[in-house]
Amino acid sequence: MSAAPLILCCRELSLDLGTPRIMGILNVTDDSFFDGGQHLAPAAALVRARRMIEEGADILDVGGQSTRPGHVEVPEAEELSRVAPVLRALAAEFPGRPLSIDTYRPAVAAAALAAGAHILNDIHGLQGPGGAALARLAAQTGAAVVVMHHDPTLRDHPADADPLPSVLAWLERSLALAAAAGLTADRVVVDPGIGFGKTQAQNLALLGRLGELHALGRPVLLGVSRKSVIGHALPELATPADRLEPTLALTALAVRQGVQLHRVHDVLANLRAARMAAALEAAGGRFFNV
């Protein structure tokens, strides 16, 4: 199932989503599940960012607070000190490149926007304690927002229950909050939140039905790069470092379901997988009934 091409507007920039777009993950943290500590220093973060842009990243998603399972929250001031200098440097060096800030804290989001960010990536889908303030910030500045599904009560549903209706209903509430704040449809992206508050069976069910998220009428972002959902499905892949090939498979399958945005660690490899899947789609190839 292919979604119609869309345009994502983010402040003064716009991104045509008629072809798959890659969002490169830039973790300015010490404890992220895959690359924690590697890019904590601003100089190291900039080297990594340049490499991802050279490889074809359309967006860079900068985060200063890990949200992996079992993470410990860092003080707000520390999160700010991690992301602000990196965003300022990237905005100066790559003025035409959309920059995303991965945060759920309004003060961090405000500082990131002042430093040059264009997109607010909120793992709580505007339904967390700071959600209303984040929505207002985006509306006031023209920034785009990624609203991610993150409802831990989903785990309490019966094991054989279809998770998709609950996920759609939850995301519809996020979209209503965005609209109430004045955010137009071309500035909002939905993310099913793979790995957040879900059982393994629910994660897999959603990955197989990503195309149905297009019913929400917004671009879809998938963040599954090297996650534990892969390790649970393939127990021999014990660490995130082992999970590149299955990540590429999921990216290709997501493209075939019309997913427009792919949040990944390995930009070039995922871009190639996405382009190959898109070429097959354009040629009318069918290897799944989607």
Q: Is residue 11 part of a domain?
A: no
**Burial of residue 128, with CB atoms counted within 10 A of its CB: 0-12 exposed, 13-18 middle, 19 or more buried:** middle
Alpha-carbon distance 270 to 27, whole Å? 18
70 in a structural domain: yes
Structure tokens at 249: 């498979």
d(CA 84, CA 88): 6
User: Does a structural domain hold residue 4?
Assistant: no
The verdict on residue 90 lying in a domain is: yes
Digit-by-digit pLDDT tens for the chain (290 residues) are 444 458 999 999 999 999 999 999 999 987 555 455 666 688 989 999 999 999 999 999 999 987 766 667 889 999 999 999 999 999 999 999 999 999 999 999 999 999 999 999 999 999 999 999 999 999 999 999 999 999 999 999 999 999 999 999 999 999 999 999 999 999 999 999 999 999 999 999 999 999 999 999 999 999 999 999 999 999 999 999 999 999 999 999 999 999 999 999 999 999 999 999 999 989 986 554 43
pLDDT at 165: 98
Return the SS3 of 221.
strand
Q: Positive or negative CA dihedral for 230, 265, 127, 98? A: negative
Within 8 A by CB and 6+ apart from 258, the residues are 1, 2, 3, 210, 211, 214, 220
What is the domain-level CATH number for residue 133? 3.20.20.20
Domain count, the chain: 1
Work out the angle at residue 34's Cα, subtended by the Cα atoms of residues 29 and 37, and round it to the nearest 5 degrees: 30
Question: For the whole prediction, is pTM greater than 0.85?
Answer: yes
Question: Which member of 226, 227, 243, 256 is catalytic?
Answer: 227
Amino acid letter for position 167? V
Question: CA dist 281 to 209, 221, 284, Å?
Answer: 17, 18, 5
- Residue 70 CB: number of other CB atoms within 10 A? 7
Looking at residue 29, what is its pLDDT? 80
Radius of gyration over alpha carbons of the chain, in Å? Answer: 18
Environment class of 175 (CB within 10 Å of its CB; exposed 0-12, middle 13-18, buried 19+): buried
Residue 13 lies in a domain: no
Range of the domain at 197: 18-282
Q: Is 263 a catalytic residue?
A: yes
Q: Which two tokens stand for residue 259?
A: 């997913």
Backbone φ and ψ of 261, nearest 5°: -125, 135
Task: Flag whether 234 is in a domain.
Answer: yes
- C-alpha distance from residue 135 to each of 9, 140, 177, 198 (Å): 15, 9, 8, 25
Among 202, 214, 108, 194, CA closest to 157: 202
Give the amino acid at 82.
Answer: R
Of the listed 105, 218, 226, 263, which one is catalytic?
263
- 224-260 residues labelled b (16+ CB within 10 A) or e (exposed): bbbbbbbbeeeeebeebeebbebbbebbbbbbbbbbb
Residue 130 belongs to some domain of the structure? yes
Q: What pLDDT is stored for residue 67 in this prediction?
A: 75
5 located within any domain: no
User: Residue 132 class from Cβ within 10 Å (0-12 exposed, 13-18 middle, 19+ buried)?
Assistant: middle
pLDDT number for residue 289: 43
* Catalytic residue status for 187: no
